[in-house]
Amino acid sequence: MRKSGGGRMWSLRFGRSIRGSPSGGASHWGGLSPGSRFTQAAAGGSDGRQEAAGDPRRRGRVYQNPTWQHVEQRPLPEKKVTVEVLDHLERLALVDFRNWEGVQRLEKAIQFADQLHAVNTEGVEPMDSVLEDRCLYLREDNITEGNCTEELLRNARETVEEYFIAPPGNIPLPKLEERDTFLQVSE
């Protein structure tokens, strides 16, 4: 059995018991560190370089209070999406909103994303991949696998000979008013 040896396990018994409040606050800190070198740290700067260089008075401390607050807690303008855009999205995505909650889910997602606009990104290049500074591997253009038609067709619901079968094509999804979608009601 592992870790059965001596020594004490870690527990959370400090000077004062901490009841697990899920969104716990700083009020519990009293008992943790009598000398509270933690309090001063809150005035810290924001430059990673400076701090990483190390200031002997400020070593090894964890902030007493949250260092930032959710933007969400401040009122943000509500985001409304027009029925035209919703209809367009249903056609593009080939999934439907199903109900009012579906639309609200989108509006909340946009509202959440709008926090990004607070960040100054002037002169910053977009990042596609963390491997952008490396050459991606390209193998030799040789056939390495194949002869698995049957295996691949086995997972399709409808096939004829060696073909996947689709219903009639080149017919666009019906217009909003002719489609079975919740958006008609909301219009």
Binding status of residue 163 toward another protein by CB under 8 A: no
Binding status of residue 97 toward another protein by CB under 8 A: yes
Which two three-digit tokens encode residue 17?
Answer: 């018991």
Binding status of residue 75 toward another protein by CB under 8 A: no
Residue type, 10: W
The distance of closest approach from Cβ of residue 82 to another protein in the complex, given in angstroms and rounded to an integer, is 12
Inter-residue contact 182 to 99 (CB < 8 Å): yes
Residue type, 75: P
Binding status of residue 147 toward another protein by CB under 8 A: no
Binding status of residue 8 toward another protein by CB under 8 A: yes
Within 107-126, the residues that bind another protein by CB under 8 A are: 108-110, 112-113, 115-119, 121, 124-126
When binding is defined by CB under 8 A, the residue of 75, 134, 143, 178 that contacts another protein is: 134
State the number of CA atoms in the 13 A half-sphere of 80 facing the CB: 3
Residue type, 107: E
Which two three-digit tokens encode residue 58?
Answer: 């400020």
The residues pairing with 163 across neighbouring beta strands, listed in sequence order, are: 160
When binding is defined by CB under 8 A, the residue of 12, 43, 143, 185 that contacts another protein is: 12
